[in-house]
Every structure is written in structure tokens, then in C-alpha cells.
Amino acid sequence: MELSTTTLLLCLALALSNAAPVPGDAAVDDASLPDRCDEIGFDAITPDENGTTFFFRGSHLWKGFRGPAQLSNESFQQLDDIHNIGHVDAAFRMHNIKHEGDHDHMYFFVDDKVFRYYGHALENGYPKDIQQDFPGVPSHLDAAVECPKGECMADSVLFFKGHDVHVYDIATKTVKTKTWSHLPVCTSALRWLEHYYCFHGNNFTRFHPVLGQVSGGVYPKDARDYFMKCPNHGHGGGHTSLNCSDIKIDAITTDDAGKSYVFAGTNYMRLDTRREGLHAFPIARWWKEVTNGVDAVFSYSDNMYLIKDDQVYIYNAAAQYTLIEGYPKTLKEELGIEGHVDAAFVCPSHATVHIITGGTIRAIDLSATPRVVTQEWTLPFSHIDAALCSAEGINVFIGATYYHYESPITLATSRIAPEPQHVNTAMMGCKE
């Protein structure tokens, strides 16, 4: 049976067992252990340095988005058996790439103490008073979540207590307190795929980390439909892992900020967020005007170009993919070409876009006005689905295989295609 590209991408997104939420079948928790599918909720949620998300309640935790409960001290020794904690008030994973000694370390807050772990081992000197590590942050917290620069004004941590949010600047060690009375009181919080979630009971509400605004849909929503595997719950259906041999994409690109996107059907997926999990979303979630999929995508000068039929949509990546005024425009107006586009790519630090149409590749200087074709070659094959240029060279995708070239000129002038390679788990998260 032939699968649609939408189904293929959704299946691909659910391929990693602990990397992304997998709703569906009955819970597997032992009857003697806490049930994550009841309506109690969680005390704290945090990923570790490898991207595995831990859900805490009382003296137990759940590892990943599925599986049974276990005692917290089985994964984090000294949380229960030595210090008799019994519960965690709040937890987060530090984001501080300028200081390797702190980056990716996990922090647990209990009453007025903070515990710091790395590699699931408690570090020397801990626990400490919260004020020693986080001056100005109150004790008896409700929740905490990291907020990297770009999503917040600076690398920060959001500490929740009641309706107050204490924004801790990691570099300056200063705190600004806001009151977000419109949000529920968060019992735990999570940053996942660059979005922020306040958990309260078995529900969650997505919020903006700077403004506190609730956005992206109608909230609250039931966490059992999205962040865990529970009976009679789930928004994604019973998808199974997609075999790498079934992969077929429409476009792929990496923007100037290093964010990598793959497009198939009406959905897209971030590939560089593998540590947080792979998950498919509608293209219109970010690129609101593009509702019927794309033919080709490329990135240039902090802008992302989405091509569909004879239309070019240009979005400002730095402004959360805001459509630039006056767009879409026709291919003829924007790039000086006509016809169906199969693939497009721009190499890092270059101003030339290469457009592939059938068995032809054209070079267009993006720095010129007007833009016109500067060179044109015939390729050794056609029916190309997508292409991506990186510092390692160019990958040309045809179904579940790809061909690697060292440079655009090598691709354009080669008369014999190189040995085909197969799309693999490391590239797309599929099942080999």
C-alpha cells in the first residue's frame, strides 16, 4: 500500500522510542507503581544532558515519554535514600554554552536546597542553599525551566512560584520578577522543541517565555494526549516506525542559525533538535501562508525561501519566519526563471542559489539585481526530490537514496552519478 508523504513524515517523527511523545496504546505501568496517566500530574520535568526527559512525582520518576515508574534514586542516587527528599519541587537542565562547567548540568530544587547532577551523579559540595547558586531566587519553588538567549533576552532560567515568575539572568546573576496571573499555577515546566509548557495537573498550557502569553491554540490541553502513552488518549494515532527505505522528502534546508528542516507533504520536521526528539508539525504552523506543501526550500541571508508551483515566499528567519511584505512573488519576478522547481540549495557563505528543474541545474546570483541565470548545466539524472549543501558537500536526494558531491561544480559537470547511498537513522531518525 502506498503511503502519503504526510503519513510518511509523521511515522518518521515517531521513530525514536524515548525521543518524542508517542501516544496510543495502553499504559504499561505496574499496578504497584504510580500511574502517570491519572490526573495528579508531576512535581517536576526536565531533560538530562542526553535529551532523555524525566517526569518526577513524589519519590518516583518516569524516564522518557513511555514506560513504567521507578524510584528516583535508581537514576539519581542520593535523591531519596541519603537525603530523604521524597519529592522534587522543580528541576531544569542548564543552558550555558559559554561555561562548560555548568552547561547541560541538571538542577533539582527541594524546599530551600539545590542539588546539581551531571552524568546522573551528584556533584561535590551539593546540596547547597538555593541562594548560593541562584541569588534572589525564592525557596519552595513550583517549577523551573531553562530559556536560551534568542528565545529569552539572555541565557536565563524561569523560576515559578504561584503566579510569580522569577527570571534569572545566568551571566549577571540578577533576577527580574513578573506576575503572570493569566497562567495557571505551574506544578512543573518544560522546554521542548523551542516551545514552553506549563503543566498543571494532567493538563498543560503553552506560553511565550518572555511575555507569558498563551499562544498556539486553545489551552489547557490534556498532557495524556501529547506527552505520554495512555489508554484512550493520543492525537497521533497508532503510527509505527518508518523504515529508512520508505523515506521520500520534498525539500531540505539549513538556515543561517543552524536550524535544519525537512519537508514532506504538508508537514515539516526539525532535524537539529534530535536531542529533544523528532516530531512532525504542519508547515503552516511557522509559515502560515504556505498550506499545500512545498516544491523546494533554500536559505540565504537570514531569509528562508519557500517555493510552491510558480510562487516564491520569503520569510525573515530572525523574526520568527515573518513573511516579507510584498510576497509571494512569481518565480519569474524573484529568480528570473519559469517552470516547476524540483530542488534548490545555497552553500554556506555563498550568494548563489542552484535551482534544479528536471535534468537541468541553473545558477542564479542572489546578490544581483535583477536576478538572472548565470550558468546552466545538464545533470546525469532527473527526478530529484531535494538537495542540501553544507560544509561537507552536497547531498542530492532521490527517494530513500542520496548522492554526495564535493561541490556545486562537481554536481553540475559530472557525467556519471556517484555510488548511491541510503538514507539512514543518523540523518532522518528512521528505522534501518
Predicted pLDDT of residue 86: 64
Q: What is the pLDDT of residues 312-336, one digit of tens each?
A: 999 998 878 899 999 999 999 999 9
pLDDT in tens, 243-254: 888 889 999 999
Give 277's pLDDT tier (boundaries 50, 70, 90): low
Q: Residue 274's pLDDT is what? A: 67
Residue 2: predicted pLDDT: 42
Return d(Cα 46, Cα 143) in angstroms, integer. 10
Q: Domain spanning 244-428: which superfamily?
A: Hemopexin-like domain (2.110.10.10)
- Digit-coded pLDDT (tens) for 68-86: 898 888 888 777 544 455 6
Are the CB atoms for 83 and 62 separated by under 8 Å?
no
- Residue 142: band (very low, low, confident or very high) from pLDDT cuts 50, 70, 90: very high
Fold matches, 24-225 and 244-428? yes
What's the grid cell of residue 207?
506560553
Using CA atoms, how far apart are residues 303 and 316, in angstroms rounded to an integer? 5
Look up residue 120 and give its three cell numbers: 546522573
Give the chain's mean pLDDT: 87
d(CA 126, CA 164): 27
Q: Which residues pair with 277 in a beta bridge?
A: none
SS3 4: coil
- Burial class of residue 418, CB neighbours in 10 A (0-12, 13-18, 19+): middle
* Rounded CA separation 243/135 (Å): 50
Quote the pLDDT of residue 323. Answer: 96
Q: Domain boundaries in the chain?
A: 24-225, 244-428
For 8-53, the pLDDT digits (tens) are 444 444 333 344 443 333 344 555 788 888 878 999 999 998 888 9
Instruction: Give me the architecture of the 24-225 domain, per CATH.
Output: 4 Propeller (2.110)
**From residue 108, how far is each of 72, 130, 191, 218 by CA, in Å?**
12, 10, 16, 31
pLDDT > 70 in the chain, percent? 88
Amino acid at 25: D
Mean per-residue pLDDT, 426-430: 78
pLDDT tens for each residue of 143-153: 999 999 989 99
Using a 10 angstrom Cβ sphere, with 0-12 exposed, 13-18 middle and 19 or more buried, the burial of residue 159 is buried
Residue 426: pLDDT band with limits 50, 70, 90? confident
pLDDT of the residue at 128: 94
What is the structure's pLDDT at 242?
67
Residue 8's pLDDT is 43
For the stretch 331-386, pLDDT in tens is: 999 999 999 999 999 999 999 999 999 999 999 999 999 999 999 999 988 899 99
* More confident call, 7 vs 317: 317
Choice between 134 and 225, residue whose per-residue pLDDT is larger: 134
Q: Tell me, what's the pLDDT at 318?
A: 80
pLDDT band per the 50, 70, 90 thresholds, residue 6: very low
User: What count of Cα atoms within 13 Å lies in the side-chain half-sphere of residue 315?
Assistant: 21
Mean pLDDT, rounded, for 102-118: 94
State residue 247's pLDDT score: 87
Q: What is the pLDDT of residue 246?
A: 87
